[in-house]
Amino acid sequence: MEVIRATDLGIRFKVGKRKRTSARNIVVGGFRRRGGESDDFWALRHVSFTVNKGDTVGFIGRNGSGKSTLLRVVGGIYPPDEGEVSVQGSVSTQFSLGAGFQSELSGVDNIYLNGILMGLSKKYIDSVLDDIIEFADIGDFINMPVKTYSTGMESRLGFAIAINVHKDIVLIDEILGVGDVEFRKKCEERLDKVMGERTILLVSHEMNAIRRFAKKVIWLDRGQIMAQGEPEEVIQQYLGS
C-alpha cells in the first residue's frame, strides 16, 4: 500500500520577494509584487516518487541537494509550489537535533512540550514517558534544564522521543551520524525493530547506515532526482558521480 506519493513536486524559495527582508531592501528595490522568475530558487523540482507502507527509504546526496527540504514537505511544513504530494498517516517529525527544546526547562518538561507539539495528548505522553526516558538513558540529566545538556544528550533525547511515540511515518535526518557508538547501536537496534511496522524516511551521509536499512534509495542533486531504486545501484552511481 502506498502511503506517500509525490508527483512532479516543486518547492520554490523566492529571493527578493516574500523572503525575510529589511526595510532597506524594500525601499531600494521597491515592493516588487511580481518578482521575476530569475529570482526564484528551486530547492526541489520535478520530484516524483512513492513510498509503500512499512518501507524504509534512504535519501542521499550532497549538502544542499534538497534532502531535508523533502522531509519537510512530507512533514507538512512546506506546501508544494508545484505538483502534488499526498501523505497517508501521522508523521513523527522530530528530525532536527534539539528542535523544540525549551532550554530553561527540564528534559521531562521538554518531552511533554515536544509531544504536544507533535499533536499527541498529555495522557498518551504519560504512557510512553518511561520508555522515552529509558531509551534516552541520560541519567539524572533528565530532570535538569536542557541547556546543561551536551549535543549528544540532546540528540539522544530527540531521537528517543521520535522513535517511542507511535506515528505511522518517522522522518530521520542524520540522526545516526551522531552520538557515541553505544547509542548508535541502540538506535540501529530500535530501527530494526520498528522497520516493517512503520514507514521510515532516512536521510544520511553514512552509506553503511543506508545500505543496512534502506529498501529503496533516492539520490537527490540540486533539487532533482538523479536516480532511485535498488540501494546498491543508486549508491554506486552517487559515489561514482
Partner 1 sequence: MIEQFKNIWGRRELVYYLVTSELKAEHKTKVLGFLWSFLDPLLLMATYILLVVLIFDRGGPQFPVLLFCAILSWRWFTSSLSVAVTSITSKSRVVQTTYFPLAVLPLAGIIAGLVDYLVAFVILIPLLFAFDATFTVNVLWLPVLIIVQLVITIGAALFCAALGTYLTDLKNIVQFILRLGFYLSPILYSVTETVPERFETYYMLNPFAALIESYKNILVRGTPPSGYMAIAAAVAVIVFLVGFWYFGREEHRLVKAI
Distances (CA, A) of 139 to 36, 153, 157, 188: 55, 10, 11, 21
- What minimum distance in Å lies between the beta carbon of 13 and partner 1? 6
- What minimum distance in Å lies between the beta carbon of 67 and partner 1? 14
CA atoms within 13 A on the CB side of 75: 22
- The nearer residue to partner 1, 26 or 239, going by C-beta atoms, is 26
> How far, in Å, CA of 204 to CA of 214, rounded?
11
The footprint of partner 1 (CB under 8 A) covers 11, 13, 18-23, 26, 72, 75-79, 91, 93-96, 98-100, 102, 104-105, 109, 112-114, 116-119, 121-122, 145
- What minimum distance in Å lies between the beta carbon of 40 and partner 1? 12
Cell of 167: 506515528
> How far, in Å, CA of 9 to CA of 87, rounded?
13
- What minimum distance in Å lies between the beta carbon of 225 and partner 1? 21
- What minimum distance in Å lies between the beta carbon of 173 and partner 1? 9
151's enclosing H/E stretch is helix 151-164
> How far, in Å, CA of 128 to CA of 201, rounded?
22
Task: Extract long-range pairs of 24-28: CB within 8 Å, 24+ residues apart.
Answer: none
Strands 2-14 and 40-52: antiparallel
Q: Is 92 helix (H, G, I), strand (E, B) or coil?
A: strand
- What minimum distance in Å lies between the beta carbon of 146 and partner 1? 10
